[in-house]
Amino acid sequence: MRHVHGRARRAGAALAAVLTWAGLLAGATGCTSDGGGIGSGIGSGIGEMFGKAPAAEDVIRIAPGDGDKAVPPDEKLSVRVPDGRLESVKVLRSQDARETEVPGRISGDGRSWRPEVNRLAPAAKYTVDAVAVDGGGHRSARHTTFTTKVPEERFIAYVAPENRSVVGTGMIVSLEFNREITDRAAVERAVSVTAEPAAEIRPHWFGKDRLDFRPQEYWKPGTEVTVDLDLRDVEGAEGAYGLQDKTVSFTVGRDQVSRVDALRRTMEVRRDGTLLATVPITAGAPTTPTYNGKMVITELLDVTRMNSRTVGFGGEYDIPDVPHAIRLTSSGTFLHGNYWAPADTFGRANVSHGCVGLRDVKGGGAETPAGWFFDRSLVGDVVEVVHSKDKTVAPDNGLSGWNMKWKEWTAGSAVK
């Protein structure tokens, strides 16, 4: 789930300091406790609402498979449905932090999509988003990713954020390498991150395949950041040499930090230090609490599927069309729209499986709390959770490095 979809700004004037939301049908929840009370009622609705719907991967067949690595360039990219029809397909290709849409078309019968060019690009990351309606009228959405093969004895870095993007003040520059790096000092010396106005920016390694950069405090709005990759022919591991000689740049936009109080069940949204709104939320249930700590938005999805089995739970939920999904961690913590919980849940009870839920309507509403927040968010914005009964999120879970003290962060450099 790695793209930001633009949407029309239909919300009205800035909300008051405390917003009251009402008018939502009860239903099943994608991140809901199945204990007693409200959670029990919601949990019982899941089978009723979704139990008979086929799994999204059965409705929408995508090749190459989700999570596939080192896919040969001659492997065919396709999206198809056994029955029903495809509503939309969007494929993005990312190379050297430059993202482009892959042109293609849906067949006349609506059963398949194919790209105009049948050969995949080497050393690239592909993201596929597809929405379809099956023969029984069930609507499903799938979001898959795969990476293509890098030439032998070469390594590359996948860079976040994207080139020429505008991000929030909490953005952390993150390089994920396609293979383990054993000479981390040599690779670190070949990467430069600079800012205007100037800021001290330091690196930190997470394991042998990820290198992040950040300043001591959040970026100042308006900062222009440049990432220079001088990796070509740098030996990062025995016999493996870098492939890239690229520059990536991005701009830091306005400063927005949102504070989720799991105890009070509210979220305060502040823009450039001014309180925009206090929004009622539902956080993780007592048995499945939400992480504490500072988390950075890494992607915004208009709609996505949430399946409990993909994040280590059993078969508690499988919701094919969660609206306004904002990813906070790589392990599956989202801040998302919730159309299935009763309206009085928000601000009163924590019932999720660790996500933060905002009231929404099926299909996603622009003027619901979830739609309002989604339209005002950027990749790189910070969402901080406090007063939850869980541990602090790990600094390498998503872009959560702000939870490390500066001394600890700087100690993670391989250059001594």
Length of the chain: 416
Q: Which residues are within 8 A (CB) of 198 and not within 5 positions of it... i.e. 6 or more apart? A: none
Six token digits for residue 127:
């993201």
Lookup result for tokens 């040969």 = 72
- H/E stretch holding 249 reads strand 245-252
Which parts of the chain sit beneath pLDDT 70? 1-53, 308-316
Give the integer Cα–Cα distance in Å for 337 and 118: 37
| Three-class secondary structure of residue 43 per DSSP | helix
Query: Got the DSSP string for 266-277?
Result: EEEEEETTEEEE
The pLDDT value recorded for residue 24 is 33
Contact 54, 78 (CB under 8 A): no
Give the integer Cα–Cα distance in Å for 394 and 401: 8
Angle subtended at Cα 255 by Cα 254 and Cα 258, rounded to the nearest 5 degrees = 130
Domain with CATH 2.60.40.3780 in the chain: 58-147
Domain with CATH 2.60.40.3710 in the chain: 154-253
Instruction: Give Dmax over CA atoms of the chain in angstroms.
Output: 62
- H/E stretch holding 263 reads none
Position 401, amino acid: G
The pLDDT value recorded for residue 80 is 97
The pLDDT value recorded for residue 32 is 35
Domain 58-147 in this protein, CATH class: mainly beta
Six token digits for residue 35:
């204990």
Give the integer Cα–Cα distance in Å for 86 and 109: 9
Give the integer Cα–Cα distance in Å for 4 and 315: 29
In the sheet that holds 293-296, the strands lie side by side as 274-280, 266-271, 256-261, 382-386, 293-296
CA dist 223 → 166, 219, 242, 399, 403 (Å): 10, 7, 29, 19, 22
Handedness of CA 42, 47, 53, 57 (dihedral sign): positive
Q: Please name the fold of domain 154-253.
A: Immunoglobulin-like (2.60.40)
Would you call 117 exposed, middle or buried from its count of C-beta atoms within 10 A (0-12, 13-18, 19+)?
exposed
Active site residues: 336, 355
The pLDDT value recorded for residue 310 is 65
Domain 37-53+255-401 in this protein, CATH class: mainly beta
Contact 146, 178 (CB under 8 A): no
Domain with CATH 2.40.440.10 in the chain: 37-53+255-401
